Amino acid sequence: MGPRLIFAAADVVGESAVYDERRDALVWVDIGGKRIHRLYLSGSRHEVWPAPDFPTSIGLRADGGAVVGLRDRVALWDFGGEFRTLAIVEPDLPDNRLNEGRVGPDGAFWAGTMQNNLEPDGAPKAMTRDSGAIYRIDGEGRVSQLTPREFGIANTMAWTDDERFLTADTTRNAIYAYDFRAGALLNKRLFATPLDRGAPDGSCLDTDGFLWNCRVAGGACLARFRPHGELDRLVELPCTWPTSCVFGGPGFATLYVTSARFTMTAEHIAAHPEEGALFAVDASTHGRPEHRFG
């Protein structure tokens, strides 16, 4: 069975899908739409909440709540409650914003940044510099900078069983590997040869250690890479801007994919209303539970 549409979210920029196995629910953000979704897979009940600023990423907390990356800060949030600031990540770079974020195996929230590419109404804004970095925010709100400010758009966060950290720079069409030791990122190198299919956005690992990467900006597919970066296969998708992916459902056997309609014309969206939807892929493999903050 090929990829199938399971929820017509019409997201401006759907991102940061996570699966909450306690509730059998998918959670994700719409950055440009300033909202957060939760979709229960059993019964298909859908909830949506407004965010006070651009929600760029979301993770699950051990106590059942969420940790949310907003434009310039990381906040603690109980679904439907107030957003409580935990940390402002780059107070000296007000023209930057958070982008990718995920809870790591250390229980901290990891967040990547970029020059802000959004006007206040969510319209595109030109980027002029590479000023993004990777940060770690712990449960006390302490912020640690893990890389130099050299990313155009920091994307993808995955931690392998052999203590590597995988991440990407969308503007460079590059996926990188670091050694992750004692809380530090060392020995940056190219993980995979750049593909001529869009650019790398969000990713997740399966139980075999293969990386599934969404190819945004016209890539219209998922790329699956072997544990040391060789391309294994491409899975074509019915959306042109897939943005993030996560395994969920029984046995973590289904791959769920968010998408975006950012920068697309009204004519294109009218002809392709599935842009910005949530899709499901039977990937013939299994995923892993999300790490939880705290």
Domain residue spans of the chain: 4-293
3-state class (DSSP) for residue 268 = helix
Classify 4-293 by CATH class.
mainly beta
Give the Cα separation of 196 and 217 in Å (integer): 11
The yes-or-no verdict on residue 231 having pLDDT over 90 is: yes
Nearest to 204, CA basis, from 246, 170, 166, 176? 246
Under a CB-based contact definition with an 8 Å cutoff, are residues 242 and 224 in contact?
no
Question: ∠162-200-179 over CA atoms, to 5°?
Answer: 25
Calculate the average pLDDT of the chain. 96
What is the chain's alpha carbon radius of gyration, rounded to the nearest angstrom?
17
Report the pLDDT value the prediction gives residue 74, as an integer from 0 to 100: 98
pLDDT tens per residue across span 38-97: 999 998 899 999 999 999 999 999 999 999 999 999 999 999 999 999 999 999 999 999
In which band, very low, low, confident or very high, does the pLDDT at 182 lie, cut at 50, 70 and 90? confident
For residues 115 and 127, is the Cβ–Cβ distance under 8 A? yes
**Across 13-21, average pLDDT:** 98
Are residues 203 and 218 in contact, defined by beta-carbon separation less than 8 angstroms? no
On the question of pLDDT at 128 being above 70, the answer is: yes
Give the tokens for residue 34: 């300033």
**The predicted structure's pLDDT at residue 44:** 83
At residue 280 the predicted structure's pLDDT band, cuts being 50, 70 and 90, is very high
Q: Among candidates 56, 73, 143, 78, which has minimal Cα distance to 108?
A: 143
Average confidence (pLDDT) over 128-149: 97
Residue 2, pLDDT above cutoff 90: no
Give me the phi and psi of 60, to 5 degrees please. -95, 145
Q: What is the length of the chain?
A: 294
Residue 121 confidence (pLDDT) above 90: no
What pLDDT is stored for residue 1 in this prediction? 62
Q: Which of 70, 3, 8 minimizes the C-alpha distance to 39? A: 8
Flag whether pLDDT at 267 surpasses 90. yes
Residue 284 main-chain phi, psi, to 5 deg: 60, 30
* Predicted pLDDT of residue 122: 86
Contact status, residue 72 vs residue 258, Cβ threshold 8 Å: no
DSSP state at residue 210: P
